[in-house]
Amino acid sequence: MFSVRNGYSCVPVALSEGLDIKLNTGVRLIRYGPHGVEIMTTNSRNHANPVTYKGDVVLCTLPLGVLKQSTAANAQGVPNSVQFNPPLPDWKVQSIQRLGFGNLNKVVLCFERIFWDPNANLFGHVGSTTASRGELFLFWNLYRAPVLLALVAGEAAAIMENVSDDVIVGRCIAVLKGIFGNSAVPQPKETVVTRWRADPWARGSYSFVAVGSSGSDYDILAAPVSPPQPSSQQPSAPAPQPRLFFAGEHTIRNYPATVHGAFLSGLREGGRIADQFVGCPYSSLQPQPAATSSV
């Protein structure tokens, strides 16, 4: 098992170095046309101070949960939904709605001391009922430090979204005491609880191939979108260039639901955009005829 030294938080810090990142800025509208794009934003705290950014293209990395919410039939007026103008084509929307977006929540427990086997990477817990089988089913032993990471999935994760941190942490301690004994388990000194489905900037955690979808939906989600051809344009005129590109863990068929998959999808789209505007570096290379010699 590989780990990132100093934790995953150092990855976005390194990748964002030198970039002009706008914080507390929520995207409300993505307008794309034959000549470029406009991104309309507001302050995410008070929904004031609208600002419009213009560019040649836009690379959309909205999580699949936000895309699902934004392309649903009742999306108009839903908080933090993003409007596309013109609307995304049906082939894109259908894949967005087909592909699954799961909910895997985590509970981080920091203790004063280690009371479990420090050589074990993880240990499990089996719930007593079908409904609770996803509740705290796995505990990760992180960095050989007095820290446990508990996972909550399925129906249990949905229930957890509406329960207070104190109740969730108390349930964790009860499960650990059932495994190691009452006297062995101290109270944690610090805890963190996630609620990804309730997070308006995520609406879930990881993509998956749901019933009725397939791996091809990842490829469709990765495909760029061109603006519709103007009705006044001649049929023989070339089709408009793509202006709307997509990246994220839900757009990479071979590595979905992973950090490295999301990272690689960004590199893929950066290359695709560069090829469109500056040309593919290998497109002009022609195969050389085989050398011949006479005897």
Do 231 and 238 form a contact (C-beta atoms < 8 A)? no
Do 41 and 28 form a contact (C-beta atoms < 8 A)? yes
Decide if 203 is inside a domain.
no
* pLDDT tens digits, one per residue of 28-80: 999 999 999 999 999 988 878 899 999 999 999 999 999 999 999 777 777 77
Decide if 204 is inside a domain.
no
Question: The CATH number of the domain where 221 resides is what?
Answer: 3.50.50.60
Do 92 and 176 form a contact (C-beta atoms < 8 A)? no
Q: Which structural domain range is residue 124 located in?
A: 105-193
Distance CA 277, CA 270 (A): 11
* Edge-to-edge strand ranges of the sheet holding 138-141: 122-124, 138-141, 147-152, 105-110, 190-193
Residues 35 and 178 in one domain: no
Tell me the pLDDT band of 286, cut-offs 50, 70 and 90.
Answer: low
How many structural domains is the chain composed of?
2
Residues 36 and 89 in one domain: yes
Decide if 295 is inside a domain.
no
Do 95 and 217 form a contact (C-beta atoms < 8 A)? yes
Decide if 284 is inside a domain.
no
Residues 181 and 215 in one domain: no
Residues 217 and 91 in one domain: yes
Helices marked H in 46-203? 64-71, 90-98, 154-160, 165-180
Residues 41 and 165 in one domain: no
* pLDDT tens digits, one per residue of 104-152: 999 999 999 999 999 999 999 998 888 788 999 999 997 779 999 999 9
Question: The CATH number of the domain where 111 resides is what?
Answer: 3.90.660.10
pTM: 0.89
Distance CA 102, CA 204 (A): 6
Residues 85 and 222 in one domain: yes
Dig out the tokens for 122 from the structure: 């993880």
